[in-house]
Structure 1
């Protein structure tokens, strides 16, 4: 009799729990937690890690904690990301992203994890116009001013397009109000940004630097005509390559403007302010070209930068050094070089994806890119070269990239004295 009671109790409990489990399964599909029956309202979580193993030559005079080093091998976390976003109602969308950049052996420990994005938006018209506010990457200028880093073609994004990265923004993200949408095949974004306090700019001198006075609003815009596939504008971050899954051809143009963003000393030691004005035009083509998964990807960009008279700024991703003992070196230590400056930049990248299942169930996608810049402060053209191959172990879910990079070395008088370079291997793991 007791066994019968236990059996009936078990069946009763199963009758209660099983439908709940089935209902829970119905509301978790496509890696989304559905908030309604048809899945149009949902919440989603993603994460990504990009880890580097690198062996490079350092700029002359580079030091680590005061010890001079000419070259080295290092391991670091180039990027770590956690995204949490969702279509909460038919018109309300929320997005947040957390992560870490450039964590290596000389980084401060346990302090690098920070908020990248935190914004909400409301769709006035579900296709033509959404308005949002918060900390976001809805920046203007060009396609890869806001790159989707999990899908970039090369080992890194074209970082020079993130024009004020960590100067008066937070790793390209800005406190802003933005509008975005699609009108026919025209995709647009407009942003009014409130620049962060400039706290890492050199003191005012006889060439322009970023002003440390309270900032005027910054205005951003980017417009692209999408001839073929109509890309998603759910988030601000744009796909680097679809690896042959879509046929995309876009032409775009954009701008960034900030009044009195820059200052310098005149010959009479007065402070003179100037506007920051940038314009860019670009083209993006990414498409399958064969019956077995082959594909090509191309991106071209021309940018006109006006940071004011003789402005340059160095960039060096996950710099393995933290000092330099050569005061005549413009580059700074490690892998840094004059990435940004007043002048004109021409950039191009191209890649080719081999057929699917080239190596077992995996394939290869080699690429090459070049940033060619004529900056007013430099007497010689600045050429940054990057070429490598992606081993697509499982698309962007797991890929191994090996690349060679080469950058020029300049003295403070603007003369090129040579170049440095090295090899980088990156493992990417992405849950999306």
Structure 2
């Protein structure tokens, strides 16, 4: 009730101050501020909040502010996002998003929201070709290289599909120009991006070592694209973000393929004391199925699988530590680093799959349940043992994605570096329990 009142007031303010726009504005309808009589020109706001309560078995040697910890419980804001976007004129689209990620007890205080996206787009050929640019999530490689965070199947998206996340981009968003559109059942996006300076990334090391790292030289343009054939219901491509699950509201089956390429993006030390440069080049294929099983009762199935060939150069490894509850380690031989880190990115081959089943509507009062499971399985050159990270849990859909509670357990492998060969071998597994509450105004 209060939200509707707020939106109506906001619409009224725009009507009063909108100049010539006010002559044909129609007010607030269908969750949008209509800018013309039929609503084809509109502006829209969304808001999402994801809060985590988590207990983590820490990686060996983990410290928090210098104190050794092997287990820790924390509360954090995994994501908070505010979107404002719309078709503000025929053929003209604008999109912006501000927010924050991974705010917990050790974060800088009063850091505030930052710009995630700001871009403009012009529709050159109706439905078939749009051109745009700015700080944008239009990415290549895979479906979930730009996931819709409010519709994720579990507690998190497959973040490794965002291959340069916060290394040469800003939480997957890149300074880009792009082309996107639909040609029959083919949905496509092709992007040219200007990589951000690797020197600004967290944990940047300027020295050139035995294994490939991102080059500190001025970066060349990055090229990437993603193409998917949509066999059944057609998905919208208004924004870059792809839906995690429709909860049975659509019948979707897509097969996709993508790439990412940047010349001379990487470097390493050669055998003769020279510096060897190499390209960053990735290729992926994936498939997505999300559909009702019984439309009358509301049961539904969601499934996704991907294969990625990552090539960052010889021996490249990068850890993923989502909202890391720790900030130090006294065991440098542990490849994972501190807290909840694990080697998620690396040169080699990766398989990923996730599946979820939605029970019938009104299973528990007016709510229902949707259990899920996912597996990330990789053979990376530098790891003597294959890497397997799995995640399983259950969503309590209090009101679809608008209000949902998710309980999950994540299990990750621990690797130790062999001092003689510098290869890493698996020694143990650790896990985390996560309880997430999501509120999504869409």
TM-score of the pair, normalised by structure 1: 0.94
Residue 434 of structure 2 corresponds to residue 424 of structure 1: yes
Whether the 8 Å CA contact 2:405–2:435 is kept in 1: the answer is yes
Work out which of the residue numbers 237, 241, 247 in structure 2 matches 1:237.
241
The aligned counterpart of 2:293 is 289
> Who wins on radius of gyration, i.e. which is larger?
1
In 2, Cα distance between equivalents of 1:382 and 1:229: 35
SS in 2 for 1:177: strand
- Answer with 36-45 or 347-356: which moved more: 36-45
Whether the 8 Å CA contact 1:101–1:112 is kept in 2: the answer is no
Whether the 8 Å CA contact 1:99–1:115 is kept in 2: the answer is yes
Deviation at 1:38, TM superposition (A): 1.1
Deviation at 1:24, TM superposition (A): 11
Deviation at 1:417, TM superposition (A): 0.6
In 1, Cα distance between equivalents of 2:374 and 2:112: 29
Whether the 8 Å CA contact 1:182–1:188 is kept in 2: the answer is yes
The aligned counterpart of 1:46 is 46
The aligned counterpart of 2:227 is 223
SS in 1 for 2:220: coil
Deviation at 1:268, TM superposition (A): 1.7
When the two chains are superposed, the root-mean-square deviation of aligned CA atoms in Å is 1.4
Structure 1, residues 78-101: CA drift from partner, whole Å, max 9, x if none? 000000001011100000000000
Work out which of the residue numbers 260, 265, 269 in structure 1 matches 2:269.
265
The aligned counterpart of 2:413 is 408
SS in 1 for 2:63: strand
Deviation at 1:30, TM superposition (A): 1.0
Whether the 8 Å CA contact 2:25–2:36 is kept in 1: the answer is no
Whether the 8 Å CA contact 1:103–1:112 is kept in 2: the answer is no
Whether the 8 Å CA contact 2:24–2:36 is kept in 1: the answer is no
SS in 2 for 1:182: strand
Work out which of the residue numbers 356, 360, 369 in structure 1 matches 2:361.
356
SS in 1 for 2:40: coil
In 1, Cα distance between equivalents of 2:414 and 2:272: 32
Mapping of residues 55-204 of structure 1, within 5 Å: 55-199=55-199, 200=201, 201-202=204-205, 203-204=207-208
In 2, Cα distance between equivalents of 1:25 and 1:171: 36
Structure 1, residues 174-194: CA drift from partner, whole Å, max 9, x if none? 000000000000000000000
Q: 1:347 to 1:112 in 2, by over 3 A?
A: farther
Q: 1:24 to 1:104 in 2, by over 3 A?
A: farther
Structure 1, residues 346-377: CA drift from partner, whole Å, max 9, x if none? 00000000000000000000000000000000
Whether the 8 Å CA contact 1:302–1:346 is kept in 2: the answer is yes
Residue 316 of structure 2 corresponds to residue 311 of structure 1: yes
In 2, Cα distance between equivalents of 1:296 and 1:156: 18
Structure 1, residues 376-428: CA drift from partner, whole Å, max 9, x if none? 00000000000000000000000000000000000123110111002100000
Work out which of the residue numbers 371, 378, 387 in structure 1 matches 2:383.
378
In 1, Cα distance between equivalents of 2:110 and 2:56: 26
In 1, Cα distance between equivalents of 2:196 and 2:338: 26
In 2, Cα distance between equivalents of 1:271 and 1:40: 55
In 2, Cα distance between equivalents of 1:208 and 1:353: 43
Structure 1, residues 171-216: CA drift from partner, whole Å, max 9, x if none? 0000000000000000000000000000233221011000111000
SS in 2 for 1:86: strand
In 2, Cα distance between equivalents of 1:204 and 1:97: 36
Structure 1, residues 111-152: CA drift from partner, whole Å, max 9, x if none? 252111000000001210000010000000000010001001
In 1, Cα distance between equivalents of 2:159 and 2:241: 14
**Structure 2 portions without partners, runs of 5+:** 1-11, 17-22, 419-423
In 1, Cα distance between equivalents of 2:332 and 2:298: 52
Deviation at 1:327, TM superposition (A): 1.1
- Count the aligned residue pairs: 413
**Structure 1 portions without partners, runs of 5+:** 1-16
